[in-house]
Structure 1
Amino acid sequence: MSATLKVLNAKTEIASYTIANGETLTIKAQDEVNYQLVDNLTGLGPQNIIAKRVGNDLQILLENGDTVPDIIIEDYYDNDDPAVTTNLLIGQHENGNIYAYVPESGQTSDAVSMLAEQMAAPQALGGDEISGLWVFSPWWLLALIPLAAVAIAAGGGGKGGSGSATDTTAPDAPVIDPKADGSVTVTPAADAANATVTYTDENGKNQTVEIQKGDDGKWTPKGELPDGVTVNPDTGVVTIPDEAIKGGSDVTASNSDKAGNTSDATTATSVDT
């Protein structure tokens, strides 16, 4: 993913960095700033990211399945009191508003500033809309705000809607990525609780993979996985290796949420190697 990192203080944008695909941007942390992530393809914030703490550095992975960080913010963490960190990671939602990235699990310990050493946690845009410019907003408070607030804002409900309204908004469709080596990855949407993937294996047999997100934010398979197939517990990315899929065959996937709403199915064709 080609992306941009903007650094904003309480008054204005003070720096902007472009991150080329496959490269790592390393910067020093600053006091009282927000870090805005921008997907250069869409102009919006990435739907979901992974934050990881290594020593006092914050590592940010912009794409599911990545193992090398796209961004490293050195000395982001305060050894004395991690809860005092107020430098947010933020992004613009498709509804035009700015939101902070908050932990998908809703657990305080998964908030960016509260991560323990060597711990990683998936984050998504959530909570109430905020200003892009820095204001005092402790991470540990944002961690308690549900991700669903973004969906409410996107639907035009605003803050005056009833908390008992029925959720009828389907999650986004998953992203299927056929790799040049013949393997295929399927990434569930940030607002999904379940995903179903169907494909044809090397023997011509139809296979189905079903995964679910637990209350702890971790993804697990429903039942036994077909040979070779893996599920990333942190991101939900399903990887079908080249040797497990018939080359040139279709892969179809869909998402559903906890309310039972189902996304449109999406289909892509694997590369025949």
Structure 2
Amino acid sequence: MIRAAGGLSDVDFGRFTDYFYRHTGIHFTPAKRYFVDKRIDNCVRNSRYDTFPHWFAALRTSGKPDMLQELINQLTVNETYFLREDYQFDALLSAVLPRILAARGDPARMAGPVKILSLPCSTGEEPYSIALRLLEEWDQIDRVDVEIHGADIDSAVLAKAAHASYGVRALHRVPTDWLTRHFVPVGGGSYQVDQSIRDAITLHQMNICDTAAMRAFRDFDVIFCRNVLIYFDELSSRRAAENLYSALRPGGYLFLGHSESMSRISPIFTPTRLPEGIVYQRPAGAT
């Protein structure tokens, strides 16, 4: 039984983490006990159930997807800000996009837009950062159609991404003149991304480990999937890598977080060394 200051028993923790792993691919070790206990406690307190066993039984048998979604929202980490690890955005503009255009030919005759996916996109800082860098610094933006998509497993952060209002901490790296051009003050020191940019970002709810659902994502030229694979075990990481591979066009590029390496997960991507660091590519001739 879960209590305000007690937490889960070892048996209950094991049962719960197995369940959560099967539904999300995220594995919590005993080192995360305090984090998990607190958030499950929140879920139980917010429900009509008075104990963990009653709540957990309902979660597994009630057929109510909102219970699982609340749990996912509680247990996923969403620490981000604008222009984070921006050396990879430098690589996107200086090397990756020029290579994509060279491979696809004259922009005026290209079949379809350049497609970029941010997964997980959290509260939206990453896809909006990509849009800002393109608008401010890419000299081809007026000639090339670009689609930017964001996806996340957490419905609550997607709602925040759609609203796109941010405070000082999230915006601390955004240049003042960009803030003036692309944001609207909304009070309390917060700013909202301009409507035209919000309308250009398509948001989706998606679990990167759900192979069947990920089939809806295809033909992306670039995917940013940063700082999420570190939360997966070997099996989930491999499944996620295969889903990302399928979502890319042949020749498409994958950016991982600075502490992540695809070479430790799967051999299906080709590592490409750029001045700014490593990017992973689906081989151009792959089918």
On whether the aligned pair clears a TM of 0.5, the verdict is: no
**What is the TM-score when the length of structure 1 is the normalising length?**
0.25
- Name the structure where strand makes up a greater proportion of residues: 1
**What is the TM-score when the length of structure 2 is the normalising length?**
0.24
Q: Which is higher, the Rg of structure 1 or of structure 2?
A: 2
